[in-house]
Amino acid sequence: MASEEALDAVRESAQSINDVTTYARVGTVAVITLDSPPVNALGGAVRQGLMDAFAKAEADPEAHAVVLACAGRTFIAGADIREFDAPDPDAPDLLDVLARIDACPKPTVAAIHGTALGGGLETALCCHYRVATPSAKVGLPEVALGLLPGAGGTQRLPRIVGAQTALEMMVLGKPVAASRAHENGLIDAIIEGDLLKGAIAFAENAVHSGAPPVPVREWSEGLSLPHDAELFARFRADNSRAFKGYQAPENIVRAVEAAVTLPFEAGMRREAELFQELFASRQSAALRYLFFAERQTARVPDLPADTPRRPIAQVGVIGAGTMGSGIAMNFLSAGIPVTLVEQEEAALERSVATIRRNYEISLKKGKLTQAKLDACMERLHPSLDMADLGEADLVIEAVFEKMALKQEIFARLDGIARPGAILATNTSFLDVNAIAAATSRPGDVIGLHFFSPANVMRLLEVVRGSATRPDVVATAMSLARTIAKIPVLSGVCDGFIANRMMTPRMDAAQALILEGPLPWEVDKAMVDYGFAMGPFAMLDLVGLDVIGWDPATSTSSTVTQVLCETGRWGQKRQAGFYDYDETRRPSPSPVTEALVREFQSRAETPPRRFSDEEIVERLLLPVVNEGARILEEGIALRASDIDVALVMGYGWPPATGGPMFWADTVGLGNVIGGLEAIGEAPAPLLRRLAEADATLHTWPEAA
């Protein structure tokens, strides 16, 4: 067993193989350590380092075994996604590096901490043994990037865990805990205490056991588990939701079918074919784009990294309705006590019961322990008195969308909240500056716009008012990560970013049904494009009467007005654009069809058929145009923020990348042409960028 001293020696005396790789030997065990922040991704230098270090270990007569470990916060978290579009021409190919590790005649042990993901787990699968810390996680999440594990993962993993488990891990893409991986044989030992020490001891035992190390490619344990055609058919059927609209899951299943039916090398060739198909796909390009876009939203160019953050140790929420309850849960789940203020006792009790019920649902699903549930509920302090918010570091108002009510609450809060507290409003469209003006401290006021259900939707629109201080903005942007949200910074305007972008889509849909398509034809095209629901079904869900319809001023001048006037308010009335049965299953309505045909007959141009592609384009073009205006007005920092907001806030299909990504993919010249064809004036920014042969994603640099 290696002593502390020996380990320190490793750490001090390691020889540098290259900038990110060191080689050391402890007794008879070679220790190869990668140190390539932030996540030891398999970029060019790491691949070169691995190739050279394993060559050195093989040639080192004193080394009888090899341990592969990583410095920093995690084991290898995958191939370097940044390099996908700009591969390092001088570095060895990943498959060659892994073939080298796989062929090592000496026992090899991967020492895993943090996350071994994608190419990282595939590297570990090329080692004879894998040991891990109890908190480690391992997984093959490539499906989230529209890919499959393309470095042998689809061929080696089933050989250990069997086809069923391998399919679950790769198609669902969720990393598994070390304990679970130990149970299914993927991890050979859980190391309590010092991982490196434990890994070296494990390697020494492997040598002393005298058992010849067997590369995973020769394993058959997993292949002896059930893997008949039935299993694959059942898996496809049971997981149809994961397959819907995505290419990668089907390619993963085919790769695993190859693993259980073909010899290893033939399976590897099949994997490579299926990988290339996905790698070249627009879906994967979109999902890779969103991977980085999501991680960029928190960067605010005019906020230096060292902008101070205000500590948020206790939070207040005013209004215990659906939004207030959901908002409170985010902080409770993050370990932050919440004082939840409501006017009526009954409403407060309802909210506390809703919060407990939501946690109990997570408990049943195994997503939460009883201890965690109890701890969250203990942190909740219901109150009927705003005075109880005096100690809060942040207070979030979530009451009805009435300006006068919000201003009255902020004026009272101004007299209650401690100096330095952040005062936030969850308004989804009201003027944050006007709300801030109701206080003596507008610099401490900010918009924190959550999306319903607030404890589930990952988007948080952070709305910066004209007086909002930099440290308040910086605190809100960081706090989002604490409550597992993706922050998108927005300026003040009607509907901020996400709502403002969705409005033209709705308007375009309503205009389009006057030209020929029926509402359910428009919805079908949008659902086939990837949306969970079309615009008209969404209207029926929300309720036609709550989206700006006023019986007093209704003049039967639109299809929606007539539907409202005739009481067809949507699902809640079992009639809207669709008819609904008692289980709320929608069906195209002959009433609506007749009404739409009647409106079409009044239109200047005779109705005509539209292809699904045309329908999608007609709804996306005005959205892109609005996006360009939002960028031009400085409401959004960058085009990718807009895409992230719509994907995370409105379920815009991730496999499309979002409307701004779509626009750059089809070309701004075509977008401008399409807008002019439907009589919509293209935003000046679109013209400027098209003339400069630039894209929305190069703005503002390319302005």
Using rule CB under 6 A, residue 301 touches ligand T1G: no
**Whether residue 122 lies in the annotated active site:** yes
Give the integer Cα–Cα distance in Å for 458 and 480: 9
Tokens of 149: 């594990």
Decide if 115 contacts 74 (C-beta within 8 A).
yes
Task: Determine the angle formed by the axes of helices 519-529 and 612-632, rounding to 10 degrees.
Answer: 70
Using rule CB under 6 A, residue 82 touches ligand T1G: yes
Using rule CB under 6 A, residue 77 touches ligand T1G: yes
Q: Which of 295, 357, 418, 608 binds ligand T1G (CB under 6 A)?
A: 295
Stretch that binds ligand T1G, among 5-13, 146-154, 376-384, 596-604 (CB under 6 A): 146-154
Using rule CB under 6 A, residue 142 touches ligand T1G: yes
Q: Which of 118, 162, 324, 382 binds ligand T1G (CB under 6 A)?
A: 118
**Whether residue 265 lies in the annotated active site:** no
Using rule CB under 6 A, residue 147 touches ligand T1G: yes
Looking at beta carbons only, is 604 or 701 nearer to ligand T1G? 701
Q: Look up tokens 């879906």; give the residue.
A: 283
Stretch that binds ligand T1G, among 70-78, 205-213, 505-513, 527-535 (CB under 6 A): 70-78
**Sequence-separated contacts (24+) of 677-684 with Cβ below 8 Å:** 678/618, 678/621, 678/622, 680/621, 680/622, 680/625, 682/625, 682/628, 683/625, 683/626, 683/628, 683/629, 683/632, 684/632
Using rule CB under 6 A, residue 641 touches ligand T1G: no
Q: How far is the CB of 251 from ligand T1G (least distance, A)?
A: 12
Using rule CB under 6 A, residue 538 touches ligand T1G: no
Using rule CB under 6 A, residue 608 touches ligand T1G: no
Using rule CB under 6 A, residue 487 touches ligand T1G: no
Burial classification of residue 18, based on how many CB atoms lie within 10 Å of its CB (0-12 exposed, 13-18 middle, 19 or more buried): middle
Q: How many residues bind ligand T1G (CB under 6 A)?
A: 26
Of 271, 256, 382, residue with least CA distance to 328: 382
Q: How far is the CB of 292 from ligand T1G (least distance, A)?
A: 6
**Interacting positions 610-639 with ligand T1G (CB under 6 A):** none
Backbone angles phi, psi at 180, to 5 degrees: -65, -40
Looking at beta carbons only, is 278 or 537 nearer to ligand T1G? 278
Using rule CB under 6 A, residue 158 touches ligand T1G: no
Using rule CB under 6 A, residue 115 touches ligand T1G: yes
Using rule CB under 6 A, residue 357 touches ligand T1G: no
Give the integer Cα–Cα distance in Å for 484 and 391: 24
Stretch that binds ligand T1G, among 143-151, 304-312, 400-408, 583-591 (CB under 6 A): 143-151
Alpha-carbon torsion angle 650, 655, 660, 666, nearest 10: -140
Q: Look up tokens 């496999």; give the residue.
A: 655
Strand arrangement of the beta sheet that strand 21-26 belongs to: 15-18, 21-26, 29-34, 65-70, 108-112, 129-132, 189-190
Looking at beta carbons only, is 153 or 516 nearer to ligand T1G? 153
Using rule CB under 6 A, residue 267 touches ligand T1G: no
Strand arrangement of the beta sheet that strand 459-463 belongs to: 380-383, 338-341, 315-318, 394-397, 422-425, 445-450, 459-463, 486-490
Using rule CB under 6 A, residue 45 touches ligand T1G: no
- Please pick, among 12, 62, 83, 142, the residue that the annotation labels catalytic: 142
Using rule CB under 6 A, residue 39 touches ligand T1G: yes
Decide if 402 contacts 431 (C-beta within 8 A).
no
Contacts with ligand T1G by CB under 6 A lie at 38-39, 41, 74, 77-82, 94, 115, 117-119, 122, 141-142, 145, 147, 149-151, 153, 292, 295
Which amino acids are annotated catalytic?
Answer: 122, 142
